[in-house]
Amino acid sequence: MRIGFDNQKYLTMQSEQIRRRISQFGGKLYLEFGGKLFDDYHASRVLPGFEPDSKVRMLCKLREDVEIVIVISAGDIEKNKIRGDLGISYDEDVLRLIDIFRGMEFYVGSVVLTQYTGQAAADAFLKRLTTLGIRCYRHYPIAGYPSDVKHIVSEEGLGKNDYIETSHSLIVVTAPGPGSGKMATCLSQLYHESRRGIQAGYAKFETFPIWNLPLKHPVNLAYEAATADLNDVNMIDPFHLEAYGKTTVNYNRDVEIFPVLNAIFEKIQGSSPYRSPTDMGVNMAGNCIVDDEACREASRMEILRRYYAAQVDHVRGGCDEKVLGKLELLMNQANVTPELCPAVSAALLKAERTGAPAGAMVLPDGRVITGKTSPTLGAASALLLNALKAVGGIDDALELISCQVLEPVCRLKTEHLGHRNPRLHTDEVLVALCISALTNPLADLAQQQLGKLRGSDAHFTVILSEVDAKLYHRLGINVSCEPHYESKRLYHK
């Protein structure tokens, strides 16, 4: 696989840039952390060589200076908002994040509930956190936010919020998801620090869009594809262009809010440290691209995946025609078609020949492997076994799991466990493969190849089950599907 990004250079440059920004503000910085701190698979897909945990590894270089503040909206608690990628509620994710941070020896200072109006569910969560020994603070809705600067920067505005007691020089403000109130929390702290005579600053850490890449670079277009449901739009930063005569890229929400932020900075501190929204950022990712063409190619593939994912989501009732229209526009801008991924045509051809759902996978070395539906295996399971044979150099005609093992499991599913579909899912197949490995050397060899599938691209002619999709994700295999279910039933799991 072509490497397009120097991860070690990124870790060094990014930590040094944050240190410089801390010094710029006299030794205390509130850093609004956008995107995913852990498992940033989008970044690793569009910047080949970027490790999914790079951002938190970068923070490890600053661990002694770091204090974590986790922000969650009381309204999101009340609505029981769910993280789509994890399937857990935002309040449960707060606890998950605390455990992860503590496991990495970061100091988690507190949790802040924003938009707090006495919601019953929020009060219950506050009580739960307090019982667990976690410091909690309340921030309240501010009338006129974010445009009424005079009211915002007053005792009746930011002054009503609890002051968060902090003890470190770098305060990383993060949240379970977007819209949690990270920026408002940072502004509230700047107000309270100023009232106490404490010098502090604010900066923003967003990986995308990458400010020093062209506006229509596929990496930046892939970010638009990833946020198509939010209708984020990349744009030239007009403030940076006017201030410095340099063209940089930002996105609409930051550009639109900058004049208000600037006014708030001036009201709180007497002057603004920034002349543009680009100035607020500390992202060094663009400086660490070592193979631009590799990143372009990877980003075009990501746009295609996002398009297929949106089509599937549309079938499930999760996105509207506007999202699909925007993704089609981005595909045109990036010169992306289904032919970009050889697995698409290979899977469709296999399904046409067999008359049943099928799948295909492009291995890291470029070979294309297919898999078909059989009485005992679904397309995802068959494709997985065939791919393991291919990377392990095992003859395709040889059997990894005996029918004497598969058939009793299929009968168990239908006769005793109440399943309509007797075919084995990928997790069941891997268990059967491990059992077979006890007596079959080929099965043992095959299971040792699982790590070699990471980075492969698979495409299926039907929507995968949740079980199969999650297992492929855990193996690091990128998956796309045609927007059709295998059956015409209305309920699918």
What CATH number is associated with residue 175? 3.10.630.10
Neighbours of 111 (CB within 10 A): 25
115 contacts 140 by C-beta, under 8 angstroms: yes
Does residue 354 sit in the same domain as residue 472? yes
Task: For residue 303, tell me if it sits in a domain.
Answer: no
Task: For residue 472, tell me if it sits in a domain.
Answer: yes
Does residue 251 sit in the same domain as residue 389? no
- Angle at 169 (CA atoms; ends 166, 170), nearest 5 degrees: 90
Task: For residue 296, tell me if it sits in a domain.
Answer: no
Q: Distance between CA atoms of 475 and 278, rounded to whole angstroms? A: 36
Task: For residue 254, tell me if it sits in a domain.
Answer: yes
Packing angle of the helix pair 218-226, 292-315 (nearest 10 deg): 20
Q: Distance between CA atoms of 134 and 98, rounded to whole angstroms? A: 10
Does residue 260 sit in the same domain as residue 355? no
Question: Would you state the pLDDT for residue 177?
Answer: 85
Paired with 360 in beta bridges are 370, 459
Q: Distance between CA atoms of 168 and 55, rounded to whole angstroms? A: 19
295 contacts 4 by C-beta, under 8 angstroms: yes
94 contacts 72 by C-beta, under 8 angstroms: yes
Task: For residue 122, tell me if it sits in a domain.
Answer: yes
Does residue 54 sit in the same domain as residue 172? yes
Does residue 279 sit in the same domain as residue 351? no
Neighbours of 133 (CB within 10 A): 6
Burial class (CB in 10 A: 0-12, 13-18, 19+), 348: middle
Task: For residue 217, tell me if it sits in a domain.
Answer: yes
Does residue 59 sit in the same domain as residue 176? yes
Neighbours of 378 (CB within 10 A): 29
Does residue 71 sit in the same domain as residue 201? yes
Paired with 82 in beta bridges are 89
What domain count does the chain have? 2
Q: Distance between CA atoms of 118 and 136, rounded to whole angstroms? A: 14
pLDDT digits (tens, 9 = 90+) for 234-287: 999 999 999 999 999 999 989 999 999 999 999 999 999 999 999 999 999 999
Looking at residue 377, which CATH number applies to its domain? 3.40.140.40
Domain with 372, as residue range(s), is: 341-481
Neighbours of 431 (CB within 10 A): 13
Final residue of a domain: which of 266, 288, 310? 288
**Token couple for 360:** 């295909």
Q: Distance between CA atoms of 158 and 34, rounded to whole angstroms? A: 22
Does residue 56 sit in the same domain as residue 182? yes
Does residue 389 sit in the same domain as residue 258? no
Does residue 256 sit in the same domain as residue 397? no
Task: For residue 211, tell me if it sits in a domain.
Answer: yes
pLDDT digits (tens, 9 = 90+) for 319-362: 889 999 999 999 999 999 999 999 999 999 999 999 999 999 99
> With a cut of 50, which residues of the chain have pLDDT below it?
none
Q: Identify the helix (H) or strand (E) that includes residue 454.
A: none
Does residue 240 sit in the same domain as residue 164? yes
**Token couple for 187:** 């502004």
Does residue 268 sit in the same domain as residue 373? no
What does DSSP assign to residue 424? B
Task: For residue 313, tell me if it sits in a domain.
Answer: no
Question: Would you state the pLDDT for residue 302?
Answer: 97
Q: Distance between CA atoms of 268 and 191, rounded to whole angstroms? A: 6
